[in-house]
Amino acid sequence: MRFALFLTLLGLFAGMPTRAQKAGSSDQQQITALMSIQTSAWNKGDIDGFMATYWHSDSLLFIGKNGVTYGWQATLDRYKKTYPDAAAMGKLDFKLLEFKSLAPGTYLLIGKWHLERTIGNLEGHFSLILQKIKGQWKIIADHSS
């Protein structure tokens, strides 16, 4: 009888999320919301709003097909040069493929990006490292290709 009760309780607790799982789920929801903010800003032609999701630091790291860019301002300048108008920007869509917690307050996000453009579509993959800074998720490293 005790064994049956033990198995019943074990089954109940096995179905309950742990505190770490709840935090992970909440973190993933917040990161997903951050990516939605990025998409929305981009699709409005607002590169400054898009960049608000990045860590505003000289230590920000962006890696693209043309190499490494260091710092928030240099990354903003790169985006504005590469995407000077609405036709170049197109409409952005993300597919978030994988979230990996690297440490408390730090995630690796893997995904796909797609730009629907009248001048020719673009697409590729990205890996982002996000960190919770002063209570907000920020992209601290971006490798997009």
Residue 9 falls inside a structural domain: no
CATH number at residue 63: 3.10.450.50
Distance (Å, whole) CA 127 – CA 110: 5
Q: Which residues of 120-134 are buried (b: 16+ CB within 10 A; e: fewer)?
A: eeeeeebbbbbbeee
Q: Is the pLDDT of residue 9 over 90?
A: no
Q: For residue 21, what is the enclosing H or E element?
A: helix 19-43
Q: How many domains does the chain have?
A: 1
pLDDT number for residue 70: 98
pLDDT number for residue 67: 95
Tokens of 86: 């609405």
Residue 3 falls inside a structural domain: no
Q: Is the pLDDT of residue 19 over 90?
A: no
Residue 14 falls inside a structural domain: no
Question: What is this structure's pTM?
Answer: 0.82
pLDDT tens, residue by residue, 33-73: 999 999 999 999 999 999 999 999 999 999 999 899 999 99
